Amino acid sequence: MSKNLPLLIISVATGLTISSWSEVAKAYTGAGSDPDDPFYLVSPGEVINGVDLDGVGRLLLNKGSSQSLCTASKISSTHILTAAHCVTDNQGNLDTKSGTITWNTDNGNFSANLVNIFTHDLWTGNAFNGFDLAVIETTSISSFVPTYELYTGTDEIGKRVDTKVGFGRSGTGNTGDPIASGTKRQGQNVYDGTGSDFFTNVPSNLLVYDFDSGSRTNDTLGFLGAPDLGLGFNEVMAAPGDSGGATFIQGKIAGVTSFIGTIGLGDNLSGVNSSFGELGFDTRVSSFIPFINEKIGNVPVGTVPEPLTILGSAAAIGFGALFKRKLAKKSQKDSSHFS
């Protein structure tokens, strides 16, 4: 497979800037001609391929003078899983002052406030390092909100996912993402490989997929040695606001939406705008099972790898230049507490 290709990236937290750092969040664009087709829209109580989507909530984060929107999923009675870049600044330092997650279910609407944020010691604000994951402790969450298990297998590549869920911007593969974030949508895709399968110095704890139109013209990863024309109408790509959203395999969370980008080949529209031919990157949950379990109290303290923290970027940068930098050491603690 080809490597050392340049990539224009944008984070998927809350915003649309592609030429500077931003605090952004994304929602899904679909391969179909109507992003508001009932297939993509998620209603309370809706079950897709065996997954009750009521456990995926809208995460509103307060960052002093600004707010950002992300997506998160319930993984215990007091914990949610999301992207680390949602809760940090450009250097990976925690900058979230408070926050609330809200779920609209067929049993009513429920919310919880943030209490503690746990991020990985190796997160430095570099979206390509694969540590874009955060476990957040919250106030008690209603039992009416579904709790999801984590996917522990390492066979994600080539599997058609049950569903990808988020509250980000939307549109179509031809138009990009002109529709504002805030609406819960879903769709499907297939993990074509890991970051290390396609790019030099990109780790295997990033899962990669592309946005296929059904034409070889937009089969970007096909140009890199993984041909696949996609899932037709069902195919979706992340867009600003979907950050932290879950991707399910066999009913369990296998990926967390991190960022999207383009290498120029196969891209239907110039720039990064969630159009056909762009690439999506999810944090690989199976790589972080010990970390997540320790934070939610499922294993004894002391048997866990380092915690997770991240922020996405919206800058045009090349893989080669990015990975020649050494990771900066961090002195910050791995959690933030809200009183």
Of 323, 325, 203, 281, the C-alpha closest to 10 is: 281
Q: What is the DSSP string of 212-258?
A: --SSGGG-HHHHTT------GGGBEE--TT-TT-EEEETTEEEEEEE
pLDDT tens sequence across 4-44: 555 665 544 332 222 222 222 234 566 667 888 889 999 99
DSSP structural state of residue 31 = S
Contact call for residues 84 and 29 (beta carbons, < 8 A): no
Same domain, 33 and 80: no
Chain mean pLDDT for the chain: 81
Domain-located, residue 331: no
Q: What pLDDT band is residue 176 in, cutting at 50, 70 and 90?
A: confident
Average pLDDT estimate for 227-255: 94
Whole-model pTM? 0.83
| Residue 135 near residue 118, CB atoms below 8 Å | yes
Is residue 1 included in any domain, yes or no? no
Helix, strand, coil percentages (3-state) for the chain, rounded to 5, are 10, 35, 50
Domain of residue 25, residue span? 6-42+150-286
pLDDT in tens, 209-224: 999 999 999 999 999 8
69 shares a domain with 156? no
> pLDDT value at position 325?
25
193 pLDDT higher than 70: yes
- Tell me: do 204 and 258 sit in the same domain: yes
- Are 315 and 301 found together in one domain? yes
Tens digit of each residue's pLDDT (9 = 90 or more) over 272-312: 899 999 999 999 999 999 999 999 986 433 322 222 222 22
Residue pointed to by tokens 């579904």: 146
**Cβ atoms within 10 A of the Cβ of 274, count?**
32
Query: Does residue 338 lie in a domain region?
Result: no
Same domain for 183 and 35: yes
User: What pLDDT score was predicted for residue 30?
Assistant: 63
269 with 219, same domain: the answer is: yes
* Torsion sign across C-alpha atoms 54, 297, 259, 208: negative
* Strand blocks (E) in 43-133: 47-48, 51-52, 56-63, 66-76, 79-82, 98-105, 108-119
Residue 333 lies in a domain: no
Question: Please, which pLDDT band fits residue 97 given cuts at 50, 70 and 90?
Answer: very high
For the cut 50, the answer to whether the pLDDT of residue 328 exceeds it is no
Q: What is the model's pLDDT at position 11? A: 45
The reply to whether 208 and 127 lie within a common domain is: no
Q: Within this chain, do residues 198 and 271 fall inside the same structural domain, yes or no? A: yes
Identify whether residues 131 and 110 lie together within a single domain.
yes
Same domain, 176 and 35: yes
Conformational region of residue 316, where left means phi above 0, alpha means psi within -120 to 50, and beta covers everything else: beta
Given this model, what pLDDT does residue 327 score?
Answer: 24
Concatenating the DSSP letter of every residue in 273-316 gives SS-TT-EEEEEEGGGGHHHHHHHTTSS-TTS----B-------E
Residue 264 is part of a domain; what is its CATH number? 2.40.10.10
Domain count within the chain? 2
32 and 130 together in one domain? no
Structure confidence at residue 8 (pLDDT): 60
